Structure 1
Amino acid sequence: MGEKSSTVQDQEQQVRKVKRTLEGWRVALLSLKSVILWEQQWHPCAIVGSMTIMYLLIWLLDLNTLASIAIVGLILNFVDFMVPVICNQLYGSSSWTGQHEKTFEEICRNIVISYNKLVIYIHSFYSLRDTSPFMYYTISISTLCTVAWISSSINNIFLLYLLSTVVLLWPGIQHSGILNSFFSVVNMAPKIPFLKSE
């Protein structure tokens, strides 16, 4: 019982820390949430279009890896500096309501929950090394060989484009229930007779 309450307290402390860190981004995060969760029909197209333009520019510039990392870092720093300044100029503190604060806290809580889930998955995978070494090495070696084969066969910029687009579309896919609809259609499909066991 005490362990559960300390976990809740730790999570609340993490939420407060994330809220302090993202304080300047709070107005922008509300808009980003609506785009990521596809609250308008055109939001998935905007996500795919912006990712396509960004990766098309990277492909056209044809920079080496180090220069690409440096430019991405410069752009991220510029955006991190400008977004809070622009948000504070456009939206004063008077336009921030209690509903906005509640939504902002929900976003921070979701970030903390997703981060904690990821950490738990990573720890559980690495705990396989002690509990089931055969399974650990089978999964890790087969995954690494598959990734090496795919990355040697397909252009890496295209792979990053696909990965980042899927990562950005995934919350909207989950929120809109597309995956559940797909699985329900697959489950309702007629079974092929020769695959049935007798």
Structure 2
Amino acid sequence: MPDTPAAEKDKQMKQLKRRMECWREVILPLNSILLWEQSWHPGLILGLTTSTFLLMWFMEPAILTVISVGLLIMALSDYLGPILISTFCSTNSWTGQKERKLDEICQRLSHAITQLQSIWRTALWARTNHANMYYGVITAVLLGFALIGNTVNNLFLMYVIVNSLLLLPGLRHNGRMQKPIKLICSYLTRPKMS
């Protein structure tokens, strides 16, 4: 009898791979950029986000306009993307090495989704079993975010958040997150001097 968690992970990975099938020619280069396989990829990420946010800063669109244009771009790319990809990329160019790389990407995404689901289940468990602690932590975190949001320019805050999220996979992949995390942990765990 197969192991239930392993079988569930395998099933989830296969479903994810099936959903990404028509985008596979775009996913591989995008993964390469997000993992910084070339030394100029972080500059490309920062350059694209900086130019996008500078354009938004210059145009000063309303939030409804930003959301509408973002959703419009997503809808058009969802419709036109597979058509353009199948037009410009031949099916003969797909190799076994690319297939293995796509499997690896799907496994990592599936693992990340599983971790997020686990965090969500833990939060729900804490809300049920430790309601006072849960609501205290949620209140403190949200008040902190409200204070930061009120103090810092919202567009700059979004710029920092988007860049952090886009650079995080490359930082993790290249091992550049371990040193700062160890430094913070050693600072927090060292004995206090009186």
TM-score, normalized by length of structure 2? Answer: 0.89
What amino acid sits opposite 2:90 in the alignment? G
What amino acid sits opposite 1:71 in the alignment? V
Counterpart residue number, 2:124: 126
Counterpart residue number, 2:91: 93
When residues 85 and 153 of structure 1 are mapped into structure 2, their CA distance, relative to the original with a 3 A threshold, is: same
Counterpart residue number, 1:57: 55
Deviations 1:13-32 (A, max 9, x none): 21121112111110111101
Q: 2:32 aligns with which of 31, 34, 44?
A: 34
Distance in 2 between residues matched to 1:20 and 1:186, nearest whole Å:
40
Distance in 1 between residues matched to 2:184 and 2:120, nearest whole Å:
31
Deviation at residue 187 of structure 1 after TM alignment = 8.4
Counterpart residue number, 1:80: 78
Counterpart residue number, 2:171: 173
Residues 126, 136 of structure 1: 8 Å contact kept: no
Unaligned runs of 5+ in 2: none
Deviations 1:120-178 (A, max 9, x none): 01110221122222221121000010111111111212111111110010011111111
What amino acid sits opposite 2:139 in the alignment? I
Larger displacement relative to structure 2 (179-188 or 104-113): 179-188
When residues 15 and 185 of structure 1 are mapped into structure 2, their CA distance, relative to the original with a 3 A threshold, is: closer
Larger displacement relative to structure 2 (87-96 or 65-74): 87-96
Deviations 1:33-77 (A, max 9, x none): 111111111101111111111112222221211111110011122
Deviation at residue 96 of structure 1 after TM alignment = 0.2
Q: 2:140 aligns with which of 132, 135, 142?
A: 142
1:6 aligns with 2:16: no
Unaligned runs of 5+ in 1: none
Deviation at residue 105 of structure 1 after TM alignment = 1.4
CA RMSD between the two structures: 2.4
How many residue pairs were aligned? Answer: 192
Deviation at residue 183 of structure 1 after TM alignment = 4.8
Distance in 1 between residues matched to 2:100 and 2:61, nearest whole Å:
43
Distance in 2 between residues matched to 1:127 and 1:76, nearest whole Å:
34
Identity of aligned residues (%): 30
